[in-house]
Chain A
């Protein structure tokens, strides 16, 4: 009987080998993915029992963990309430952390990041719990507050950038929500707050500055002008361009009219700078025809259209459609047809012009600090692309200053400061008012801030008034807050 006994002992060894392999799979190979499962309450409790890093704006915590005496040990609170809701997101035992920095920077905040490895090892040896890292943001609290206040009860978004670095100075999206009740340890209260947020028709959880795509309307004329200058279709701001009351589009019965129904100048002609001041559709439409879709698209791409940015919040890529025919190119040149953009992207356009044509990569995190105050990461300015030449940037700046000084953007004027801007009114739904846009930067000669504002349904159909009247004052408030 000894032979079968030996064989059976091999079988026993094989059974146990299977158990060893399975345990290794669960505890080593798949451990990280198992830990990361949303339904895994252990991970959440684990993170709760650790001091989560704070999110800080100018030495003030906008998200912090407070020691409490219940089983979760640390309560996540947001001292500023709604103001930073879309930037921070929330951190809830009931729901998780699906949005904002709480989501994308979870590794750092929870202390699980690989960049905290050395710290974790020393903590292991000293028996301490590794606390999460603190995130210092680039946000200027004055600009954030000004943007929030100026946007008021309107739906829309404001994004302000430092044109020279790409640092995000303000990022406001309305409507907002209060992340505190969802993060409550009263799970019933948290669930109620979450259900309300989820069902909100206005999608308050959405960070409109980076996650919502809008037609840019006339603000896109800045990109068209850049493409025309870079491709030699016009030479400078005084170049003469066509400006009829209606632009006849080839291949189609629909024509491209001016909102006013009038030609933009005598003899159906005007200069580029005047076309910009009064936001002449036919002039830019004809530049679009001359350029063609691909050149327009290429110029937009140099400003960042089509890029998937992570600042580290994920930015929805803006887009100019490929393979445009002539009438579509003309429509796209004035920011209609299927051109779609985030407010951040238009802020990058303004910032690129402001910075001599160099578009800087936007970033939201200034520095990452461990609990021991060692800085482990710093936000460093980096160039995304040279979108236009310095000369082109200078010419467009001149034109945008004219828009604010004597054109459609007069409400963005700041006394004693040269402001460059461009209005926009973007049709998106025949039954609703258009979106009102404004992009700008200041001071024009040494730019410190570039802003993009969109107010949903804030415009007046058939008029550039919307962008100038509704959006420009908001941009001005933000610029003033940064400059003063």
Chain B
């Protein structure tokens, strides 16, 4: 990889991202429709979540199908601290992130020793255990969940009775931060370690890459960011229960944008979310009551098609050059 072009590409990525954020920030000034704004909030949130997932699943190659655990933990820690102890959601968000990162480290210790399928299934199983425990945990609301009363418009309490705009701007901020963290990590020694671990763990080990520590780092960062997204979601929908924040569906929705857009790439999760979320929401509302299945059929087919024809994701469609670079 040529050093100069590499630096130029990185700077160009940063500028493109800044332009995107600036443009996105203006969109709600023109789009006042609440339904459309709702879709935009979700799209940005999943872009950020999938970007977080991508750090572990894409760059480091550890396919997690259990990120609902960290998403749910972020949501639960925030909601519990707020409703039971009156802690402002901003601190709750941070606490949720830290709790998730610590749990990711604790779980990573045994699971990162597992290979491919064993690891993926272990992540499903762990998230499912947490789901069942929360479903039966009375203090945390059990199946009834936790209702976050929205009484006022307040940035301090991060709740807004009418406008969706504050949520939109936070989701944009979240997606931008997740992107920026990835951008920065990509060029750090961690980024190189992760790619080495993903391509060939044994070779990486022999070249002095600390494989296990690399995975732990990726897991903790990924879990922390995912939990921030979960905390945001709890405040956004202002009601959580295990089904609403910790079910397997979220593990899917968190990983799919990255898989579709381009796994282990900087722009993949953003592109994937921009395609997947509006398509899902729109098919759902067009088809209406005649069955929830259509959204599943649409994105299931997309995943199969992309896996079979474009293993490097939809991003590969946009520029061959980038694809060649990515393959290197």
Do A and B belong to a common assembly?
no
Residues of B within 8 A of A (CB): none
